[in-house]
Amino acid sequence: MADTDFDIIVIGAGCAGAIAAYVAAKKGKSVLVVERGEYAGAKNMTGGRIYAHSLKRVFDDYSEGEITTEDIPYERKITHERISLLDPESSMTIDFTSDELGVDGRDSYSVLRAEFDQWLAEQAEDAGAEFINGIAVEHLLKDDAGKVYGIEAGGDEITAQVVIDAEGQNSLISERELGNPRSKRDAMAVGIKEVFELPAEEIESRFLCNEGEGAAMLWAGDATHGYTGGGFLYTNKESISLGLVATIEDLSQSDTTIYQMLDDFKKHPSVAPIIKGATLSEHSGHMVSEGGYNSIPELVFDGCLVAGDAANLCMNLGYMVRGMDLAVESGRLAAEAACDAIDAGDTSKAGLASYRTKMDDSFVIKDLKTYALWPETMENWHRMFTDYPKMVGEIFNSMFVVDGKPTQHLKKRIMPIVKQRGLFKLLGEVKGALKAL
């Protein structure tokens, strides 16, 4: 094996990259992380919430008990799950809370990436990884046979036995240097988010949460004015993350811009009170992969592996969104596969193939496979975003509105509302969705 500057170069210090660097450094490899932000997290944005299981596993396995949940800069433990159907004139919300949501190993937390990613990077650095910040990787170095042997960044060439591409969702390197396909407009969404600062007690009282705990909330319907997508909210320690996700194809043909949608959403009578009196602190944007299993690109190349958002590892199930736990797991598995390949003296595509096998055996690919049909089902389920929130509003109006006129049995009130939409069509659509989910 030729001498290289580092054993492993990691592109990007997000969840996948920082964890890959941490694991590889813990395994005694020399690691360089090249992060284009001035600090880790400077270019990152999440909704967002991380399911803690995969991070817990990494630190349980590699930190010798030094890093526990208490050390991680989480914002709030999410103990309330809210889903809401939004019509211009009504809103129906379910607020679910359960002891199960907070159990160690099943817990999830809101995070803000500027702080969270810097902490992850610190752990990788403490483990021995080196960092270059503020410079984007421009090219991969390839030998005559096409094997990746390093990177070019800021005019410098740096070599390694394995490069782990964890560059994120706007995956220029994966597309332009590795030849993976550019994501399709109907398999990619744009996320827009604003952070509103509020005192901790105010957040807890607005969301009926205990101290230090918080809520996650997703909206379907008028949040995106009926276009494919939805609204989201996550409570942080002293702020609220509020935003929208909309599929690029549908949005590009719509009658409203994404930022106008967000402004309208913020002014909806059922949303405005949430952020009343709060101070707007940041306006951000980020893409979200919506294609699921069928959007996963090639993960293993000669001398190079792809992890995290760059590999489109994201699940939007409508009632929940997962990405960061998949990124963490893929970062760990990429690092383990890279270290094994280096130890075995074969970092070719065949030598690195265990990454794909490990991924296939992990919850990442298994879960994405389980929900493989869902992205298309959701994409084509237009009534979920338009007529069904309205129907639900009509049903609940028929239950709760009292005007002094003689009333009728519930069945007589509700059935016409449902029949108008076609009872069997509705049942068929719900059945189809349950099958895809």
Partner 1 sequence: MKKLKPITVNVDELISLNHYNVDEENAHIELDHENLDEVDDTEFQKLVRVCPAALYKVDEEGHKSFDYAGCLECGTCRICCEDTIVKKWEMPQPTMGVEYRFG
Residues near partner 1 (CB under 8 A) are 36-38, 41-46, 112-114, 116-117, 134-136, 154, 169-170, 172, 182-183, 185, 188, 190-192, 194-195, 239, 241, 248, 251-260, 262-263, 280-287
Omega before 231 cis (within 30°)? no
**Cβ of residue 46: shortest distance to partner 1, in angstroms?**
7
Residue 378 CA, distance from chain mean position: 17
At residue 259's C-alpha, the angle toward residues 15 and 199, to 5°, is 65
253 or 424, CB closer to partner 1? 253
* Residue 11 Cβ vs partner 1, minimum distance, rounded to whole Å: 11
Helix, strand or coil, per DSSP, at residue 183? coil
> Is the Cβ of residue 243 or residue 351 nearer to partner 1 in the bound state?
243
Q: Which is nearer to partner 1, 126 or 263 (CB)?
A: 263
| Between 44 and 123, CB nearer to partner 1 | 44
State in angstroms the smallest separation of the CB of 213 from partner 1.
20
Minimum Å gap between C-beta 216 and partner 1 is 17
Q: For residue 117, with 0-12 CB atoms within 10 Å meaning exposed, 13-18 middle and 19 or more buried, which class applies?
A: buried
Spell out the residues 6+ positions from residue 279 whose beta carbon is closer than 8 angstroms to its own: 196, 197, 198
Q: What is the smallest separation between the CB atom of 289 and partner 1, expressed in angstroms? A: 10
In the complex, the smallest distance separating the C-beta of residue 239 from partner 1, rounded to whole angstroms, is 7
Buried b (16+ CB within 10 A) or exposed e, 27-48: bebbbbbbbbbeebbbbbbbbb
Measured from the CB atom, is 257 or 380 closer to partner 1? 257
Which of residues 288 and 333 has its CB atom nearest to partner 1 in the complex?
Answer: 288
Contact 296, 167 (CB under 8 A): no
Question: Least Å distance between CB 113 and partner 1?
Answer: 3
Name the nearest CA neighbour of 161 among 174, 175, 147: 147
Report phi then psi at 169, rounded to 5: -70, -30
Q: What is the DSSP string of 200-215?
A: HHHHHHHTT--TTEEE
Type and span of the H or E element at 410: helix 410-419
For 87-136, where are the alpha helices, taking DSSP H only?
Answer: 113-126
Query: Are the C-beta atoms of 44 and 37 separated by less than 8 Å?
Result: yes
- Nearest to partner 1 of 41, 214 (CB atom): 41
The residue type of 75 is E
Nearer residue to partner 1 within complex by CB, 24 or 192: 192
| Closest CB 406 distance from partner 1, rounded Å | 42
